[in-house]
Amino acid sequence: MAKGYWVARVDVSNEEAYGRYRELNSIAFRKYGAKFLVRGPAGKVAKGTPRKHNVVLEFKDYETALACYESPEYQAAKIHLDSVGEIDLVIVPGTEP
């Protein structure tokens, strides 16, 4: 079964809101077994607009990745994103092994 991934790129302009978001999103991430594969600044930007924070989360499958996003736990965290800054987030299925 293919895994599921969240790929996020973030430019934080409100550290307080970002801190609250991270505090709350950790509840959902623990519940749905998210594993951080990437969590850090941009490395070499080969093409496109860089962001300060880049995150890749792995889930056991795509359905679990979607369920985490739709969960009440994540929705409680998500309300803080509007004031965090610029954010891109995609949820994608992995390829079959």
Please give the DSSP secondary-structure letter assigned to residue 82.
Answer: G
Contact of 4 with 92, CB cutoff 8 Å: yes
Q: Is 76 exposed, middle or buried (0-12, 13-18, 19+ CB in 10 A)?
A: middle
Report, as an integer, the average pLDDT of 70-88.
95
Q: What is the pLDDT of residues 20-76, one digit of tens each?
A: 999 999 999 999 999 999 998 878 889 998 899 999 999 999 999 999 999 999 999
Give the CA distances from residue 27 to residues 9, 31, 47, 71, 86, in Å, rounded to whole numbers and listed in that order: 20, 6, 34, 10, 23
pTM attached to this predicted model: 0.92
